[in-house]
Structure 1
Amino acid sequence: METASFRNSKSAAAQQVFDVVLIGGGIMSATLGALLTALQPDWSIALYERLDELAGESSNPWNNAGTGHSGFCELNYMPDVHDSAKAEEIARRFHVSRQFWASLVDGGVLADSAGFVHSTPHMDVVFGDRDVAYLRARFATLRSLPLFSAMRYTEDPDLIGEWAPLLMEGRDRTEPVAATRYEAGTDVDFGALTRELVDVMARAGAKVALRHEVTTLRREQGGLWRVAGRDRNMRRRFEVRARFVFAGAGGYALGLLQKARVPEVRGYAVLPAGAEFLRSDNPEIVRRHDAKVYSQAALGAPPMSVPHLDKRMVDGRESLMFGPYAPFSTRLLKQGRLIDLFTTLRVRNVAVLIAAAVQNVSLLRYLLGQLLSTRRRKFAELQRFYPQADQADWYPVQAGQRAQLVKPDPRRIGVLTFGTELVTAADGTIAGLLGASPGASTAPTIMAELLAGCFPEQISAWASALHSLMPGLAELVDSDQQAVADNLARTGEILGLA
């Protein structure tokens, strides 16, 4: 496989030729940039973000669930109670994320972890015989696995009331109920983490350009990429060259890869998926709920719609969020444009998109129901979770906009996928990230995969440093229960987690 020829080039910025250009100022670009800064400090890096702030879209703490997705409470990662592979993989990756962040804090690269990660137990609570039987079977499958051995299960309403008082007060105690709880869960402010990682890059000499929107990606003779767009500060065009480009622009990533004519995304399409939440800042309520509590999605609802009542810590202030509710928009970013979806349509992906829609009639029905839902009906969904909720304590907030990936399929023409996919061009000079959760929580391992795929000539020289930052890349973090406990203890002490 070919790869771009890199050189030592601290002077490259003056020539407007960069070794690496990152498009998008979110957690993915920030993680890749911080990694490259550590592994190859003599390379020149530029980051371009269309907004006037970093982490303004999906990495913003109010635009994502912030759970530090680790497979413990997200029931949609394990629809089959006997198949734990996806939950295990996500939990394993999150352990490696903890290692990466802890390594940066321990080495003094990140100043303080208290601003971006906090201890918050992860729970599931389900109601009714069918869902209780599901959770009981799920726990039976997971309990023997090292990653999940510390998870607890109960069908005792009193114990559940101790774990999450708001959920049980005023509830009919004759209704079957079950819960799991994992004490070592986290709440992650990916916005604060993104800003810290970008600061690491900037201190090392990287160029960080806000209000710069990339609109053109073209491969030139000689192998360089021409990266051009609008400088919204000066109201003029800008243009640079790059040896490697990463499209970490969230919902805009597919469009950028299409503009770059990357053959690996032919036939790919996206469906926009928005989210609204109810939020409470009432300290009397917030102090009584110290957990992230997930439950089962309604029948016919998409996997990403699983209801959850989350404790959030942002800028030192605690809040609760409940949702998500699903609005509809043709924007692919929260601060995008109404024409966004239509700009991604191509001859090759229209049939793929239509096929996926036909196969997901229940999803379309669910979205229509959400659009027609009144505020009273939405609040009733919260009261199903929290029976004594008072509408005066809650207000609606618009969360982030996602672009769910739709891929060609030889049998079904097109399929709607739920997850994150790294797309890398065959020559290794451009890559992008598509899809939604659990992306942010697994960013370090995703970027490690990108490094291995796009930089085969350098990866062996980087291996030692990579394994020092993330030991889990070299040996399983869940080889046994002791290995899991040791990793939690070591990273927890450094990150200030219980």
Structure 2
Amino acid sequence: MTTANKVDVLLVGGGVMSATLASLLSELDDSLSMLMVERLPNVAAESTDAWNNAGTGHAGYCELNYTPLSADGNINISRALAINASFEVSLQFWAYLIEKGKLPTSRNFINQTPHLSFVWGDEDVAFLRKRYDLLKAHHLFQDMEFSEDIATLEAWMPLIMQNRDKSQRVAATRMKYGSDVDFGALTKSLVGDLQNKKNYNLALNTEVKSLKQHANGRWHVRLADVKTKKNRTIDAGFVFLGAGGGALKLLQKSGVPESHGYGGFPVSGQWLVCNNPEVIQRHHSKVYGKAALGAPPMSVPHLDTRMINGKPALLFGPYAGFTTKFLKQGSYLDLFNSVKPKNLKSIFGAGRHNMDLTRYLIGEATQKHHSRVSTLRQFYPQAVDADWHLEDAGKRVQIIKNCDEKGGKLEFGTEIVAAQDGSIAALLGASPGASVAVQAMIDVLERCFNQQMKSEAWQHKLKQLIPSYGESLVENAELLKQIRQRTLKTLNLT
């Protein structure tokens, strides 16, 4: 299909965020013209690719870093509640698309995979028990289980408990209906459905060279074909920068005042991938532990059952590393090119207060294979070096922003940066990322399509797409019960 040079919506990046936003907009108003551009030959080939992310349906069930322990011994569960409710929003939208035949069978992209938190030692067992008691009391986590019983733990995670020292005190929590999500497969299916619509176009091997806003508020975006180097200009009413690690650079090119002060700190990741089919068949869950002292939150160790491109896999990691690339298929100059006069203060402020993190990442990157497998043996004592090989995962650019106290601070969450007039928005950061894509893109709609979102037509449609829209699943136990019953059934998570 021929692509028009004037569109209502320009989506930069062919990952799960852009695909989710395009799908929402298409359902809300199918008259909107949209163009998605991706610099690679395929969609979902960078951060969204299954090998480049954890594949965990992040719901706060097993991720201990979402329930931090304060210095006074209290555990804060607010972030776990918020992330769980946000993931339920994603499940609702996916369930709607399946019911309408817009997505293939759920097993194409999501599979039931119990989520477990596993710890050892008196101090960490006490922490896990306290965390369990707090979460279990809330309706979002009412189905969580806890056990210190060896026989029970052997049934939950036989690989991990095999030949473990019986004198070591251990404990775990479990949520049966946790999930593994192939976000690459999901994104390809979303884009496949969009391509059946007359007002949607996809331009692969296409990158953004410049963005300039004109007096009428519209954006003139110069695109270039990666292969032929041929340029063309798109006139767009709204621009979404969902280019993963590349979003910061594009936001800076836009020149909007809201971009000032933002910088990025790239972190690379690696997985140990199991080569032994017999070992893979004996583990059927996602088991998360506690991050090492000084490790960044995205380095929480986990032994994961995965379904990647329809095939079972077993991964352990991630192992963090230092990089100057913002994208796996990016440039080693990305970090240096992101330094601008308007973010110097925040970058150097954050750098000055995170030297320990930099040293940790360099140490991680220079580990030997045997050292990595030794870490794995804390989870799986019988791990054999030869059964595992190292694979590169994706790059994650953590947010650096202004901070009055330190000059700049490093954050590990996800943040939407939007221009005041709502004409352009960018998604920065990483965790919990793709799992909360639907809620994140609803936030974009509320900030950038404010008037349409208030209309009766969009409000009515949103309640069809996401029945809990406008209400709080954190506060409404009966609504959650109704929602969860439907989504678990539709997505085959029970």
**If the length of structure 1 is used for normalisation, what is the TM-score?**
0.95
Distance 1:101 1:366 in 2: 38
Listed one character per residue, the Cα deviations across residues 440-467 of structure 1 (whole Å, up to 9, x for unaligned) are: 1111111111111111221122111112
Q: 2:105 aligned with 1:112, yes or no?
A: yes
Partner SS, residue 25 of structure 1? coil
Is the 1:149–1:481 Cα contact (8 Å) retained in structure 2?
no
Is the 1:301–1:362 Cα contact (8 Å) retained in structure 2?
no
Q: 2:466 aligned with 1:477, yes or no?
A: no
Distance 1:436 1:132 in 2: 29
Shift of 1:131: 1.3
Which deviates further from its counterpart, 304-313 or 169-178? 169-178
Partner SS, residue 463 of structure 1? helix
Could you tell me which residue of structure 1 aligns to residue 352 of structure 2? Answer: 358
Could you tell me which residue of structure 1 aligns to residue 91 of structure 2? Answer: 98
Shift of 1:119: 0.3
Q: 2:83 aligned with 1:87, yes or no?
A: no
**Structure 2: which 5+ runs fail to align?**
none
Distance 1:182 1:453 in 2: 34
Could you tell me which residue of structure 2 aligns to residue 408 of structure 1? Answer: 402
Distance 1:470 1:481 in 2: 16
Partner SS, residue 390 of structure 2? strand
Is the 1:61–1:314 Cα contact (8 Å) retained in structure 2?
yes
Listed one character per residue, the Cα deviations across residues 130-171 of structure 1 (whole Å, up to 9, x for unaligned) are: 211211111121110001111011112221111001111121
Distance 1:452 1:480 in 2: 22
Could you tell me which residue of structure 2 aligns to residue 188 of structure 1? Answer: 181
Could you tell me which residue of structure 2 aligns to residue 43 of structure 1? Answer: 32
Could you tell me which residue of structure 1 aligns to residue 15 of structure 2? Answer: 26
Shift of 1:479: 4.1
Shift of 1:371: 2.6
Listed one character per residue, the Cα deviations across residues 90-141 of structure 1 (whole Å, up to 9, x for unaligned) are: 0001111100000111112223222100000000101112211211111121
After superposition, residues 166-205 of structure 1 pair within 5 angstroms as 166-205=159-198
Q: 2:45 aligned with 1:56, yes or no?
A: yes
Could you tell me which residue of structure 1 aligns to residue 56 of structure 2? Answer: 67
Distance 1:232 1:42 in 2: 30
Residue of structure 1 aligned with 2:413, choices 415, 419, 423:
419
Distance 1:78 1:62 in 2: 26
Shift of 1:231: 0.4
After superposition, residues 140-219 of structure 1 pair within 5 angstroms as 140-205=133-198, 206-219=200-213
Shift of 1:365: 2.7
Shift of 1:15: 4.6
Listed one character per residue, the Cα deviations across residues 61-118 of structure 1 (whole Å, up to 9, x for unaligned) are: 1100011100111111111252111000000011111000001111122232221000
Partner SS, residue 443 of structure 1? helix
Could you tell me which residue of structure 1 aligns to residue 340 of structure 2? Answer: 346
Q: 2:442 aligned with 1:448, yes or no?
A: yes
Structure 1 residues 37 and 125: alpha-carbon distance in aligned structure 2, compared to 1, 3 A threshold: same
Distance 2:188 2:350 in 1: 37
Residue of structure 2 aligned with 1:314, choices 301, 308, 330:
308
Structure 1 residues 354 and 233: alpha-carbon distance in aligned structure 2, compared to 1, 3 A threshold: same
Listed one character per residue, the Cα deviations across residues 48-67 of structure 1 (whole Å, up to 9, x for unaligned) are: 00001111111111100011
Q: 2:267 aligned with 1:273, yes or no?
A: yes
Distance 2:355 2:253 in 1: 31
Q: 2:321 aligned with 1:327, yes or no?
A: yes
**1:490 is aligned with what amino acid?**
R
**2:349 is aligned with what amino acid?**
A
Shift of 1:178: 1.0
Is the 2:249–2:338 Cα contact (8 Å) retained in structure 1?
yes
Distance 1:357 1:14 in 2: 44
Listed one character per residue, the Cα deviations across residues 394-453 of structure 1 (whole Å, up to 9, x for unaligned) are: 111000001000110111211110110011100000001000011211111111111111
Is the 1:211–1:232 Cα contact (8 Å) retained in structure 2?
yes
Distance 2:191 2:38 in 1: 12
Is the 2:62–2:116 Cα contact (8 Å) retained in structure 1?
yes
Which deviates further from its counterpart, 427-436 or 475-484? 475-484
Could you tell me which residue of structure 1 aligns to residue 493 of structure 2? Answer: 497
Distance 2:68 2:29 in 1: 42
Partner SS, residue 434 of structure 1? strand
Could you tell me which residue of structure 2 aligns to residue 78 of structure 1? Answer: 67
Distance 1:237 1:475 in 2: 46
Could you tell me which residue of structure 1 aligns to residue 484 of structure 2? Answer: 488
Distance 1:464 1:250 in 2: 31
Is the 1:477–1:487 Cα contact (8 Å) retained in structure 2?
no
Partner SS, residue 274 of structure 1? strand
Structure 1 residues 264 and 291: alpha-carbon distance in aligned structure 2, compared to 1, 3 A threshold: same
Could you tell me which residue of structure 2 aligns to residue 241 of structure 1? Answer: 235
Partner SS, residue 267 of structure 1? coil
**If the length of structure 2 is used for normalisation, what is the TM-score?**
0.96
Distance 1:397 1:341 in 2: 23
Partner SS, residue 203 of structure 1? coil
Which deviates further from its counterpart, 289-298 or 475-484? 475-484
Listed one character per residue, the Cα deviations across residues 343-370 of structure 1 (whole Å, up to 9, x for unaligned) are: 1101122221122122223312311321
**2:471 is aligned with what amino acid?**
E
Distance 1:14 1:287 in 2: 47
Could you tell me which residue of structure 2 aligns to residue 8 of structure 1? Answer: none
- What CA RMSD, in Å, does the superposition of the two structures yield over aligned residues? 1.5
Distance 1:326 1:460 in 2: 43
Distance 1:283 1:425 in 2: 50
Distance 1:197 1:294 in 2: 29
Could you tell me which residue of structure 2 aligns to residue 225 of structure 1? Answer: 219
Shift of 1:342: 1.2
Listed one character per residue, the Cα deviations across residues 201-240 of structure 1 (whole Å, up to 9, x for unaligned) are: 2111211011001121111232221111320243312221
Distance 1:193 1:102 in 2: 12
Could you tell me which residue of structure 2 aligns to residue 138 of structure 1? Answer: 131
Is the 2:349–2:407 Cα contact (8 Å) retained in structure 1?
yes
Distance 1:490 1:353 in 2: 46
Give the paired residue count. Answer: 487
Partner SS, residue 321 of structure 1? strand
Partner SS, residue 102 of structure 1? helix
Which deviates further from its counterpart, 330-339 or 102-111? 102-111
Distance 1:36 1:333 in 2: 27
Listed one character per residue, the Cα deviations across residues 471-495 of structure 1 (whole Å, up to 9, x for unaligned) are: 1222233445554343222112212
**1:51 is aligned with what amino acid?**
L
